[in-house]
Amino acid sequence: MGTTPGATPPAPGRTPVPDQADATRVVRAGLPSPQAYEPPLPGPVFAAHFHLPGDATGPYTYGRESNPTWVRLEQAIDELESPGAAAETVTFASGMAAISAVLFSLVRTGDVVVLPDDGYQLLPAVRERLESYGVTVRTAPTRGDAQLAVLDGARLLWIESPSNPGLDVCDIRRLAEAAHARGALVAVDNTLATPLGQRPLDLGADLSVASGTKALTGHGDVLLGYVTTRDAGLAQAVRQWRKTIGAIPGPMEAWLAHRSLATLALRVRQQAAGARALAEALRDRPEVTGLRHPGLPSDPAHELAGRQMLPGRFGCVVSFTLPDRAHAERFLRALTLVDDATSFGGVRSTAERRARWGGDAVPEGFIRFSVGIEEPRDLVADVLHALDVARREA
């Protein structure tokens, strides 16, 4: 795919076929051309430095600048986030490293940044840091495209859709057009959807940013982040930031992430189907309020999500509220197929009482539920049983 001047040239790879189904593309994304007696996905390259004769140039010099294991993963993500056009991905040690790379490398003192006020719970800490550097930060909710009203004079608009944990959705194309008309850059946090669920660059965003820790890698054993853009200058700024801050992915993590991609389409489909089944089962429970899942036809975000997300891939998260903290804790304790744990997107279902972190504006009984790849029928039975136990013990 495309290269930024001065960036690491991609290792020789297969030529991606643009009109393939993404479920096909993802199986071989980023793999090198077949070489006799070599593995399809070469193992992780552990190297702090590389042999470097003569001048300090070449694809691989020092391990903080580049690594062939990252480059393969970055090419794979290019193919998924931007199948129809050249793009560049820069991977990071975590989603927060990727988010910080965009916000701190592209924004200067005196700039205005627009953030969602219902996005990932560390955004307020990012806001505080930006403000301490003399950046003006405005916030507005994701729902109803409310960020439109505060765009004037902005340098960068940050979108999170669907938002975590509230699962509101905004019209990315509409917001991107409005932001571009005002000269602002647009970045979309694509963590929840994954590039198989939503392609922000096709919807007009300049940057698609994600935590690969969640559904992208999907096994709950890797922290990773990435930024993908079609703009060589933006890629260069973000890459330079990574080199300066040093928030690089480990080769083992990058390799595990790449290996996980082959099952991404299967996981995304199964998890979305399970999430829809769970949401439908929760709809009729009297103790459940505030039920949200963009795949549920009655959800306020469904129509818009259906227009901008890829068919049937509305993500694995279902959120809802139980009457109070004690009720929610009884429910979580009674689950047998679901771990009480944070994060989302993994193959094993997890759920948590989100208010325990203190960072989100949610009620005490609010549950963020991440549906894994279990058979939906079994998962739904487990959840309904746990709801019965929680109600009986009230």
Ligand X SMILES: Cc1ncc(COP(=O)(O)O)c(C=O)c1O
Reduce the secondary structure of the chain to three states and give it as a string. CCCCCCCCCCCCECCCCCCCCHHHHHHHCCCECCCCCCCCCCCCCCCCECCCCCCCCCCCCECCCCCHHHHHHHHHHHHHHCCCCCCEEEEECCHHHHHHHHHHHHCCCCCEEEEECCCCCCHHHHHHHHHHCCCEEEEECCHHHHHHHHCCCCCEEEEECCCCCCCCCCCHHHHHHHHHHCCCEEEEECCCCCCCCCCCCCCCCCEEEEECCCCCCCCCCCCCEEEEECCHHHHHHHHHHHHHHCCCCCHHHHHHHHHHHCCHHHHHHHHHHHHHHHHHHHHCCCCCEEEECCCCCCCCCHHHHHHHCCCCCCCCEEEEECCCHHHHHHHHHHCCCCEECCCCCCCCCEEEEHHHHCCCCCCCCEEEEECCCCCHHHHHHHHHHHHHHHHHCC
For residue 309, the minimal CB distance to ligand X (Å) is 15
For residue 17, the minimal CB distance to ligand X (Å) is 31
For residue 240, the minimal CB distance to ligand X (Å) is 20
Report the interface residues with ligand X, using CB under 6 A. Answer: 94-96, 120, 160, 164, 189, 191-192, 211, 213, 223, 225
For residue 164, the minimal CB distance to ligand X (Å) is 4
> Of 116 and 376, which has the nearer Cβ to ligand X?
116
For residue 336, the minimal CB distance to ligand X (Å) is 25
Using Cβ positions, the residue closest to ligand X within the complex turns out to be 95
> Of 123 and 178, which has the nearer Cβ to ligand X?
123
> Of 225 and 363, which has the nearer Cβ to ligand X?
225
For residue 21, the minimal CB distance to ligand X (Å) is 26
> Of 52 and 361, which has the nearer Cβ to ligand X?
361
> Of 140 and 380, which has the nearer Cβ to ligand X?
140
> Of 74 and 280, which has the nearer Cβ to ligand X?
74
